[in-house]
Chains A and B, each alone.
Chain A
Amino acid sequence: MNENDKVPVEIPGRIINKIKKKIENSEFKTIEEYVIFVLRNSLIDDSAKSTLNPDEEEQVKETLKKLGYL
Chain B
Amino acid sequence: MMEKPNVIILTVDMVRNDMLPRFQTFQKLKEKGVLFSEMVTYAPYTIASLHAIFTGMYGRDTNVDAYFKPVKFDKENCYTLTQYLHNYGYYTQADVMAELTVPRQGFDVFNAHDENKDDLLERHKDIISKAFKLNKKFFLYLHYSNIHTEIVKNVIKKYKDFDKDYFGHKEDNLKRYEIFVQKACDYLEGMMDLMNENDFWKDTLVIILSDHGCSIGEKEGEKAYGIYTYDYSIKVFSFFIYPEVLPLNKEIKTQIRSIDIMPTVLDLLKIPADNAYKRQRGKSLLELIDGRNNSDRLAFCETGGLDGPHPSPYSPNVKCIRTKKWKFIFNSTTNKKELYDLENDPKEENNCLDDYPEITAEFWKQIQEEL
**B335's contact among A28, A52, A57, by CB below 8 Å, is which?**
A28
Count chain A residues whose beta carbon lies closer than 8 angstroms to a beta carbon of B: 26
A60 vs B313: C-alpha distance when bound (angstroms): 11
Q: Which residues of B contact A51 (CB under 8 A)?
A: 72, 314
The majority secondary structure among interface residues of chain B is: loop
Contacts of B311-334 to chain A: CB distance below 8 A: 311, 314-315, 332-334
B98 contacts A67, C-beta separation under 8 Å: yes
Given contacts A48-B315, A62-B99, contact A27 B337 (CB under 8 A): yes
Q: In the complex, are the beta carbons of A63 and B315 less than 8 A apart?
A: no
Closest chain A CB from B105 CB (angstroms): 16
A40–B371 touching, CB < 8 Å: yes
The digit string for B67-94, where 1 denotes a CB below 8 A from any CB of A, is 1101110000000000000000000000
* B-facing residues in A46-60 (Cβ within 8 Å): 47-49, 51-52, 56-57, 59-60
Once bound together, how far apart are the Cα atoms of A37 and B368, in whole Å?
Answer: 12
* 7 closest cross-chain pairs (CB), A and B: A48-B314, A68-B152, A48-B315, A56-B71, A66-B98, A63-B100, A44-B311
Interface residues of A (CB under 8 A from B): 26-28, 33-34, 37, 40-41, 44-45, 47-49, 51-52, 56-57, 59-60, 62-64, 66-69
Residues of B that sit less than 8 Å from A by CB: 46-47, 66-68, 70-72, 97-101, 112, 148-149, 152-153, 156-157, 306, 310-311, 314-315, 332-337, 371
